[in-house]
Amino acid sequence: QLVPLIGFISVGLGSAVLYLLRLALYSPDVSWDRKNNPEPWNKLSPTDQYKFLAVSTDYKNLKKDRPSF
């Protein structure tokens, strides 16, 4: 009777770990290399998708609406 419980807990923990790894590696808010890239959010183009799920946004058709620094 504990086998399904252990299975569900392991699937939940595994998916939580994978989601945290995705956030750590692909999120523009995280800076692992502060010497070469101190502000990674400034190097994103408007067509980069950094949200996990965007329901109504088509990132391919976005245009740049901010200045380049």
Check whether 67 has a pLDDT greater than 80: no
Residue 8: inside a domain: yes
What are the CA-CA distances from residue 49 to residues 20, 36, 44, 53 (Å)?
17, 22, 9, 9
> What would the mean pLDDT of 36-54 be, rounded to a whole number?
68
Residue 43: inside a domain: yes
What's the confidence (pLDDT) of residue 10?
97
Check whether 28 has a pLDDT greater than 70: no
Residue 49: inside a domain: yes
Residue 65: inside a domain: no
Number of domains in the chain: 1
Top-confidence residue, 45 or 16: 16
- Quick check: 18 and 30 in contact, CB under 8 A? no
Residue 50: inside a domain: yes
Give backbone dihedrals phi and psi of 21, rounded to 5 degrees, phi first. Answer: -65, -40
Residue 32: inside a domain: yes
- Quick check: 61 and 52 in contact, CB under 8 A? no
Residue 64: inside a domain: no
> What would the mean pLDDT of 19-25 be, rounded to a whole number?
85
What's the confidence (pLDDT) of residue 22?
85
Residue numbers of the domain that contains 43:
1-59
Residue 48: inside a domain: yes
Structure tokens of 21? 């790894």
